[in-house]
Structure 1
Amino acid sequence: MKKWMLSILLNAVALIVVDQLFASFYLEGFGTALLASVILSVLNIFVKPLLVVLTLPITIVSFGLFLFVINAITLMITQVLLGSSFVISGFAMAIGAAVILSILNLILQRLIKDTILVQRR
């Protein structure tokens, strides 16, 4: 549970960073970022595996790059669910945001992991 909550928090921070970087990616505030992060987490548990299986051939042919399109689809679904408090202007922005969110989450998780390892020593 702690790990999931930390993941939600890190994803919310990454969403805020993307919001600050691009005018075509809008979040109403940190509360919306947290809610979007929870929704994305649920979609990643239930919807993403189905999309991955359905698009497996194209994912293999694209050497996994199609996974960014799947992540963009989950972002667009989240946008629909949250309405005007979370707006992504177009699918190209959703793909760009998916790429940046993946990179930011990787960096943030690595920083947290390294910090925890240093504290345990």
Structure 2
Amino acid sequence: MKSLVIKLLISALVLLLGDYLMDSVTISPYYYAIILTATLGILNSLVKPILKILALPFTILTLGLFSFVISACIILLADGLMGTHFETTGFWSALGFSILISILNTITDMLMPDND
């Protein structure tokens, strides 16, 4: 349980860092980053597998790069669910945000060892 809370907080900090680095993404007020993290986690576990199956031919043709488009769609869906507390200016900002979040999550995963 303690590990889950720590991962949730680190993911929220990564989202806030992405918000800081990109002008086209807004998380306001900042404590909604925790709710956004939970929302993205739920969407990634429920909706993303369906989108991956439907987009499998495109993912194969693009050698996996289409997965960033799927992540951008998940971010846009979270944008719609969160209302004014999380906003992106469009598809391209969601795509850039998904790439940035992927890079930042990779860096934090390398820096933070998994103790489970």
Flag whether TM exceeds 0.5 (same fold). yes
Aligned length: 115
The residue type equivalent to 2:22 in the other structure is F
Structure holding more helix per residue: 1
The residue type equivalent to 2:108 in the other structure is L
| Distance of 2:85 and 2:96 partners within structure 1 | 19
Aligned residue number for residue 80 of structure 1: 80
Aligned residue number for residue 36 of structure 2: 36
The percentage of counterpart residues that share the same residue type is 37
Q: Secondary structure at the match of 2:59?
A: helix
| Distance of 1:15 and 1:27 partners within structure 2 | 8
Aligned residue number for residue 11 of structure 1: 11
State the shift of 1:3 in Å.
Answer: 4.2
The residue type equivalent to 1:17 in the other structure is L
State the shift of 1:8 in Å.
Answer: 2.2
- 5+ residue gaps, structure 1, are 117-121
Answering whether residue 22 of structure 2 is matched by residue 22 of structure 1, we say yes
The residue type equivalent to 1:106 in the other structure is T
Q: For the structure 1 residues 59 and 87, does the alpha-carbon distance in structure 2 shift closer, same or farther, using more than 3 Å as the test?
A: same
Q: Secondary structure at the match of 1:113?
A: coil
- 5+ residue gaps, structure 2, are none
State the shift of 1:2 in Å.
Answer: 4.1
8 Å contact kept, 2:22–2:97 = no
The residue type equivalent to 1:58 in the other structure is F
Q: For the structure 1 residues 61 and 6, does the alpha-carbon distance in structure 2 shift closer, same or farther, using more than 3 Å as the test?
A: farther
| Distance of 1:43 and 1:2 partners within structure 2 | 22
Aligned CA-pair RMSD: 1.5
